[in-house]
Amino acid sequence: MLISELDTPALVVDLDVMERNLSQMAEYCRRHHLRLRPHTKTHKIPELAKKQIASGALGITVAKLGEAEVMLKAGLNDLLIAYPIVGPAKTKRLADLAIRAAVTVAVDSEEAARGISAAMAKRGSEVGVLIELDVGFGRCGVATENDALALAQKISSLPGLQFKGLMFFPGHFGVSPDERAVLRKQVNDFLDRCYEAFARAGLPFAIVSGGSTPSRYESEFFHGVNEVRPGTYIFNDRSTVGVSAATIEDCALSVLVTVVSTSVSGRAVIDGGSKTFSSDTYHAEHGRGFGLIKDDPATEIERLSEEHGHLNVTQSDRRYSVGERLMIIPNHVCTTVNMHDEIYGVRGEQVETVWQVAGRGKVR
Ligand SMILES: Cc1ncc(COP(=O)(O)O)c(C=O)c1O
C-alpha cells in the first residue's frame, strides 16, 4: 500500500527517522553508562516498546496501570509506573501485576505507600519503590531531602515494599539550552543534599531515575543519575523543536490530512481538529498554531474545531485546493497519538506496517 492510498486523517511514522531516534538515544546511554527506561506514554504501542528494548532499553516506563497491563500482556515484564498509585481498586491491580512482572512504582506520600503496602501484603507480592522528588516542575514529589529520607525510612519498614531509590521528572526543562543549564544546577544541588542525607542515615539505594526528552542528551550532567526515562524522543514534535531539543528532520510522526474546504476567503480547512490533534498548545512563539504544515510553514493552523482545522493561508504564496493532502507535525505528539486507533509506519512512499495503539485511552 502507498501513503497516497491511506484515508485521512491518519498518523504516519517515518520509520527511518524513528529508528534513528531510537538508536541515537540508546547509543548515548551506552556511552554514558545510563540505563534507558523509555516512557511509553508517547506511543502506547507494545511493538514499539519491544523495539526500544531491542535497541538497548532495560525496561519501560508507563504512567497508568492500564498501560502497564497492556504492556505486560504483550510480554514486557520490567515496568516502572511513574505515577502515584492511590486507592484500593488500583492497589489491588498493582498487587496482581507485581505477581507477574518486575514492577517499580514512584511514591511521594506515606498515604500512597501504606495503601500499596497493604495490598502487597494481602496478595503476597512485592513491589520496588522510588521516592519522587520535586526538582522544580511543581507537580509531584517531595520538596526536601529530609522529607525524602523520612519517607524512605517509612517505606523500608513497610511489608511488600522494597525501597530502591529516587526519581524525578524535569518537566520544566522544555526551555532553551541556556535556561536548562541554570535549572540543572538547582536540580543537582537538591540531589547532592539528598545523597548526603541518605549517606548520613546509612540508607543506601541503587537507582536514581531522571530524564526527559528536552534534557536527554544532557543526562550525563545530572549528579548521580543512572537511569533515564525520555518518552517523546521516539517521534519528537513541534514543541520539542520549538525548545531547540530536536530538528524538524528528527520529527518522525506526521498527521496526514486532506483539505476539505477553501470557500471562505483567506482560509483552508483540513479534516482534522481537536479530536485528531488534541488541543495542546505550542511551547514556543507564544503558543501560536496547532501544528506545523511541513511544506508550508508560512500557513498557520490558527484554530481547531472538533473536526475542522482552520488554516490562515494569507501569509503564504501557496494556493490550497480541495482534495489535496498535507503532512502536519503536531504540537504534542503524545496526546495526538492517544486520539488514534492505529499508526502507519512508512518508508518512502510505501506503507510498511500498521500498529494498533493498544494502550490508548487507558487512563485508569
Ligand atoms: C514521570 C515522567 N517521566 C518521563 C517522562 C517523559 O518525558 P518527555 O515527554 O519529555 O520525553 C514524562 C512525561 O510526561 C513523565 O511524566
Q: Strand locations in the chain, DSSP E?
A: 10-14, 35-36, 60-62, 78-81, 102-107, 127-133, 161-168, 207-210, 227-228, 253-261, 267-270, 292-293, 300-304, 309-312, 325-329, 342-347, 350-356
Q: What is the pTM of this model?
A: 0.97
Tell whether ligand 1 has an atom less than 6 A from the beta carbon of residue 232.
yes
Which carries the bigger pLDDT value, residue 281 or residue 8?
Answer: 8
| Fold category of 248-356 in CATH | Lyase, Ornithine Decarboxylase; Chain A, domain 1 (2.40.37)
Tell whether ligand 1 has an atom less than 6 A from the beta carbon of residue 37.
no
In this model, does residue 60 exceed pLDDT 80?
Answer: yes
Q: Among 39, 130, 240, which residue has the most ligand 1 atoms within 8 Å of its CB, making it the best to mutate?
A: 39
- pLDDT band for position 31 (cuts 50, 70, 90): very high
Q: What is the pLDDT of residue 286?
A: 77
Q: Among 130, 169, 218, 238, which residue has the most ligand 1 atoms within 8 Å of its CB, making it the best to mutate?
A: 169
Beta carbons within 10 angstroms of residue 351's beta carbon = 17
- Which atom of ligand 1 is closest in space to residue 174's alpha carbon? 10
In this model, does residue 42 exceed pLDDT 90?
Answer: yes
C-alpha cell at 142: 517531595
**Helix, strand or coil for residue 96?**
helix
Q: For residue 3, how far is the Cα from the chain centroid? A: 27
Q: Ligand 1 mean position to 229 CA, how many Å?
A: 7
Tell whether ligand 1 has an atom less than 6 A from the beta carbon of residue 230.
yes
- pLDDT band for position 313 (cuts 50, 70, 90): very high
Q: What is the pLDDT of residue 323?
A: 98
What b/e readout covers 12-29, taking b as 16+ CB neighbours within 10 angstroms? Answer: bbbbebbbebbeebbebb
Q: Ligand 1 mean position to 67 CA, how many Å?
A: 14
Q: Is the dihedral of CA 17, 361, 69, 132 positive or negative?
A: positive
Domain range summary for the chain, segments of one domain joined by +: 15-235, 248-356
In whole angstroms, give the CA distance from residue 329 to residue 332: 9
- Which atom of ligand 1 is closest in space to residue 173's alpha carbon? 10
Which phi and psi angles does 21 have, rounded to 5°?
-60, -45
Beta-bridge mates of residue 258: 325
Mean predicted confidence (pLDDT) in 241-258:
96
Which phi and psi angles does 291 have, rounded to 5°?
145, 165
Q: What is the pLDDT of residue 285?
A: 78
In whole angstroms, give the CA distance from residue 157 to residue 49: 34
Which carries the bigger pLDDT value, residue 353 or residue 285?
Answer: 353
Mean predicted confidence (pLDDT) in 282-292:
88
Tell whether ligand 1 has an atom less than 6 A from the beta carbon of residue 39.
yes
Q: Do 105 and 129 touch, CB atoms closer than 8 A?
A: yes
Check if 15-235 and 248-356 are the same fold.
Answer: no
Q: What is the pLDDT of residue 284?
A: 82
Tell me the pLDDT tens digit for each residue of 115-140.
Answer: 999 999 999 999 999 999 999 999 99
Tell me the pLDDT tens digit for each residue of 170-224.
Answer: 999 989 889 999 999 999 999 999 999 999 999 999 999 999 999 999 999 999 9
Q: Classify domain 15-235 at the CATH superfamily level.
A: Alanine racemase (3.20.20.10)
∠ CA 57-229-54, nearest 5°, is: 15
Longest CA–CA span in the chain (Å) reads 72
Q: What is the pLDDT of residue 177?
A: 87
Tell me the pLDDT tens digit for each residue of 201-211.
Answer: 999 999 999 99
